[in-house]
Structure 1
Amino acid sequence: MPDENKLSIIIVDDHPMFREGLKSIIRRDTRFEIVGEAGNGREGMELAYKFKPDLALVDISLPDLNGIHLTAELKQTLPETRVVIVSMHSKIEHITEAFKAGAFGYVVKESASEGLLKGLETVALGDYFLDSSVSPTVVKSLMESPLRRGPGKDAEYGTLTPREQEVMRLLAEGLTTRQIATKLYISPKTAENHRANLMRKLNLQSNIELIRYAARLGLIDLDLWVDASEAGKV
């Protein structure tokens, strides 16, 4: 049984070795107790429903459910659980998405050994935490600003369902609809329907247009976008 005198934590990350590293850091502070860990988003949700933890450490890149969507679902269904994102991504777009989805903290994996405990302590007190040069004031201003600033198509992007947004991101990363179906545990026909719907909503005619659009909105890494452009793929 969880110790009621300690703050309970679940860890959702698909890398077992990194989970072990997080656990070793957390165990340095007796105020926290790890009550469960999961390697994907669906298992993470099951743990959250079972333990109703005070804090959840969530990676963005999970093999099934995107960590941003998991954060949003936790905020809606378990609002008392505060999410701290622990991710390899440090781009402002990922940080903005995380806080918009309901995260209280954002820790970059490279600096987890130095910033994790401080982040957990800060979030446990009800404050926002970001382990970079970006101040909490900037984080709050990000939350009050539009989620994305693109070339006039943010409104169209907002019409996509969460699943369509997820399919769009995977398409932009180069996955086929069959690969997306396998990754998201849906049928190929359902994946193709999502693709057709999002292309229609965004008025896009080809995968090339989709990749360009995703790059402008920051949905895919700019470095990958540049590499593809130089290779003549975009």
Structure 2
Amino acid sequence: MAAATAATTDGRARVRILLIDDHDLFREGLKYLLPVLDSKVQYFEAGTLDDALQLKCEEGFDLILLDYYMPGVNGMDALEKCRQTFESATLVVVSGEEDPRIIRQSIEQGASGYIPKSSSRDDLVEALRLVLAGGTYLPSHAYRPVSPAISFAVQQSDAGNEIMITKLSRRQFEVLMKAVQGKSNKTIARELDISDHTVKAHLSVAFRTLGVQNRTEAVYAAAKLGIQPGQSTRYEEVAQQ
């Protein structure tokens, strides 16, 4: 059955993380690693997807860590069910599968990152910090060409988009960051109090600037550039008004 463990008991605001993984040893190891990430972590765990989907958290989860291969369920289906059930949570795949195509499919399905289980302790902690800050984590081998479009997006990001991105307005940059986080146009419009049409217009400009065609390519390009909310304020500082 699903279980919950609070890492602190002092009543302070907590980071609520749910790990969905069928391997007891991995869940137990991550449980003791998370306080290194943040002493205010409240840790929840589930050994099956069904248990996870039944788990309730009054305040909602901040981060869902999902094993790609779970018994009795396809990885893409598991991602979709988690997206529908935990709408406000950031969703990240943590898996032993390292195929770049699977990584891309996970991002296309709405994951905000993909962390291989082969990652070192330090890399895992830094990856979690990144996604909790609103960024997108991809392992370095994810940038291997899995399609002409992704290859082009990565090449473009290496060829000067760090300068081009600063030509976006602050609002265009803000909309791009929310899109990279996996938020829908309607969600972005609601959060920024603008119309869906305005969101689409801002994304169109941002995609052209990055030299990409869609959100998935934008995620790869932004991740390659190291652009993420809260950690790349230099982009926001130089962005046009």
What is the TM-score normalised by the length of structure 1? 0.54
5 Å-filtered alignment, 1:212-223, equals: none
On the 8 A contact 2:104/2:216 being kept in 1, the answer is no
Distance 1:67 1:41, change over 3 A: farther
1-side partners of 2:133 and 2:99: how far apart? 26
Amino acid aligned to 2:46: A
Q: 1:77 to 1:131 in 2, by over 3 A?
A: same
Residue 12 of structure 1 is matched in structure 2 by: 20
> Would the alpha carbon gap of residues 66 and 34 (structure 1) be closer, same or farther in structure 2, given more than 3 Å must change?
farther
Assess if the C-alpha contact under 8 Å between 1:41 and 1:67 holds in 2: no
Match of 2:124 in 1: 116
1:33 and 2:44 correspond = no
Question: 1:99–1:32: structure 2 CA closer, same or farther, 3 Å change rule?
Answer: farther
Tell me if the contact between 1:41 and 1:66 (Cα under 8 Å) persists in the aligned partners. no
With over 3 angstroms needed to count, the CA separation of the structure-2 counterparts of 1:73 and 1:80, relative to structure 1, is same
Please report the RMSD computed on the Cα atoms of aligned residues, expressed in angstroms: 2.9
CA deviations on 1:95-142 (whole Å, 9 max, x unpaired) are: 011111111011100115232221221111211111324469749768
SS at match of 1:36: strand
| 1:94-173 equivalences in 2 (<5 Å) | 94-134=102-142, 138=154, 143-144=215-216
1:69 aligned partner: 77
2:196 aligned residue: none
Give the partner amino acid of 2:44.
G
Selected match of 1:78 from 65, 86, 97 = 86
Matched letter for residue 70 of structure 1: A
Q: How many Å apart are 1:48 and its aligned residue?
A: 5.6
Contact 1:6 1:32 (C-alpha < 8 Å) held by counterparts: yes
Distance 1:144 1:104, change over 3 A: closer
Q: Offset of 1:54 from its aligned partner?
A: 0.2
Q: Is the 8 A contact 1:26 1:32 kept in 2?
A: no
The 3 A distance-change label for structure 1 pair 12 and 113 is same
1:53 aligned counterpart, secondary structure: coil
Distance of aligned partners of 1:62 and 1:132 in 2 relative to their CA distance in 1, 3 Å threshold: same
Structure 1: distance between partners of 2:139 and 2:106: 14
Q: What percentage of residue pairs aligned between the two structures are identical?
A: 28
SS at match of 1:130: coil
Whether contact under 8 Å (1:119, 1:131) holds in the other structure is no
* One-letter amino acid of the counterpart of residue 132, structure 1: S
Q: 1:71 to 1:34 in 2, by over 3 A?
A: farther
What letter matches 2:105 in structure 1?
E
Which amino acid is 2:32 matched to? S
Are the counterparts in 2 of residues 10 and 37 from structure 1 also a CA contact under 8 Å?
A: yes
**8 A contact 1:68–1:98 mirrored in 2:** yes
